[in-house]
Amino acid sequence: MTKPTIPEIGKLSYLKEIDPSLRLRRAIHLNDAPLVRRILRTHPDLLHNPDHSLTGNANTNLHLAASLGHLSIVQLLISLGHESPTPALNDDHQTALMLASAAGHTEVVHFLAQHDPSCILRQDMRGRDAIMHASSSGHDTVVQILLTYVPGGAEAALARTDIEGNTALHYASGNGHLLVLRTLLAAGADPYRRNVWNWRARDYCATVRTEVYYDSLVPKEGENGNGAPSRSGSPEARKKGFGARLVGLEVGD
Helix axes 140-149, 106-115, angle to 10 degrees: 10
How confident is the model at residue 109, as a pLDDT? 98
Classify the phi-psi angles of 63: left when phi > 0, otherwise alpha if psi is within -120 to 50, otherwise beta.
Answer: alpha
Q: Which of 22, 31, 14, 91 is nearest to 66 (CA)?
A: 31
How confident is the model at residue 164, as a pLDDT? 98
How confident is the model at residue 2, as a pLDDT? 58
CATH superfamily name and code, 104-219: Ankyrin repeat-containing domain (1.25.40.20)
What gap in Å lies between CA 171 and CA 70, rounded to an integer?
A: 26
What gap in Å lies between CA 68 and CA 103, rounded to an integer?
A: 8
Contact 149, 185 (CB under 8 A): no
How confident is the model at residue 162, as a pLDDT? 98
How confident is the model at residue 18, as a pLDDT? 83
How confident is the model at residue 229, as a pLDDT? 43
Backbone φ, ψ for residue 36 (5° rounding) = -60, -45
Domain ranges (residues) in the chain = 18-91, 104-219
What gap in Å lies between CA 113 and CA 127, rounded to an integer?
A: 19
How confident is the model at residue 222, as a pLDDT? 56
Indicate the pTM of the whole model. Answer: 0.83
Q: For the chain, which ranges sit under pLDDT 70?
A: 1-16, 221-253
